[in-house]
Amino acid sequence: MVAPDVSDTQQSLEGRVVIVVGSTQGIGRAVAETLAAHGAAVVVNGRDGEAAEAVAAAIRTRRPDELSLQRGQGQEELSLQRGQNQDEDVLSLQRGQDQDGLSLQRGHGQEELSLQRGQGQDGLSLQREPGEDEMSLQRWTERSGSGPAAIAVAGSAADPDVAQALLDRAVEAWGGVDALIVCAGTAEPQGSSILNITSDEFNALIDAHLRTTFEACRVVAPHLVERGGGAIVTTSSHAFTGTYGGTGYPAGKGAVTSLTYALAAELAEHRIRVNAVCPGATTRLSTGDEYLEHIEALHARGLLDDATRHGSLDPGPPEFVAQLYAYLASDLAEGVTGEVFAGAGGYLGRFPRPEAEFLTWRDHHANPPWTLEEIADLLGSR
């Protein structure tokens, strides 16, 4: 999968409304901020009301004066930014940090490149004249012109009332919703296993992962059907493969993966795309001595191989995988549905769709059931 061009992503998310469940910190917050940077209006959600309001306020007041244009990994960066005088409309194109600037200007006897304010918006657009397609470098602004649009809704989306409030607030503010992204979740207690986890602890993990995803989808899916389509992005984890052990966490993520496959099949006729992301990122849940000890213990027990251990200890900032979420919510992902992706740092992956491996067959009308010995022979276990 090729990373989308920034200008294309801007156009495909400009003015869209996206609910981001679990977006007050970590990956969810990075997703909300990335969507807003690409022009979407976002509903920020989390159990902590003050934190949700703070993130929404930070998004609304953000006025990015610098747009980064990077040329591949490990190469010099080209950045487009305002000049030292923040009141001037002239932008300079600079090569890397503390290096000489390159001015963007009109050529002699050639077609004109003009830098001007977008029509009817408080943004900037770079366009080629005459008659060429516009390449947008606009800042998405609220109707008030203060910054990207964001509102906050507090509470756990596992609560049906909170899930409904997420949709109601978005409809009240912007008239509808175009996409739902569910990033909510919590880590399994340190050292948790089937040998010591309680029923209450297990149920809490299922609620945090599966019930939150279900309730949000239950509320938003009918709305997307009425609007003629949209996108849903859920959050699973490599843990659904059992690699990291545990109980409630892998069970919840595995259920989210299965629900994603089912919703993609069920909603395809309504032009609703449903995909999952198994993210990796450096957050509060993946740092600290306890987390380090947990990963090293899993590696020592043989549950994690060397590559998975390394990826778990150095997954990259959440802003990297946030781009994958934004892509899946955008029109650039049209036709992509029923997929489970993985992303961490510069890594992108996709899980193959599960299917049974053919072993053998015989007609049950003409033959008796397989004997235990026959099955053992087929499976090579004796």
Q: How far apart are CA 350 and CA 18, in angstroms?
A: 24
Residue 55 pLDDT level (bands cut at 50, 70, 90) = very high
Residues 327-351: pLDDT tens digits? 999 999 999 999 999 999 888 999 9
| SS3 of residue 103 by DSSP | strand
Q: How far apart are CA 277 and CA 349, in angstroms?
A: 10
| pLDDT value for 202 | 95
Residues 248-266: pLDDT tens digits? 999 999 999 999 999 999 9
Residues 304-333: pLDDT tens digits? 677 777 667 666 789 999 999 999 999 999
Residue 87 pLDDT level (bands cut at 50, 70, 90) = very low
Ordered by where they begin, the domains of the chain are: 8-63+143-289+317-351 (3.40.50.720)
Distances (CA, A) of 265 to 9, 30, 259, 273, 331: 26, 29, 10, 9, 19
pLDDT at 295 over 90: no
Amino acid at 338: G
Distances (CA, A) of 99 to 34, 66, 75, 95, 102: 28, 16, 14, 6, 10
Mean pLDDT of the chain, nearest integer: 78
Active site residue 325: no
| pLDDT value for 123 | 38
> DSSP string covering 251-262, please?
HHHHHHHHHHHH
pTM of the model: 0.74
Which one is catalytic: 249, 261, 325, 327?
A: 249
Q: How far apart are CA 334 and CA 127, in angstroms?
A: 26
Averaged over 360-380, what is the pLDDT?
A: 94
- The dihedral sign for the CA sequence 112, 114, 119, 123: positive
- Mean pLDDT comparison of 81-85, 119-123, 250-254, highest-scoring range: 250-254
| pLDDT value for 285 | 62
- Least confident residue range of 36-45, 158-167, 271-280, 373-382: 373-382
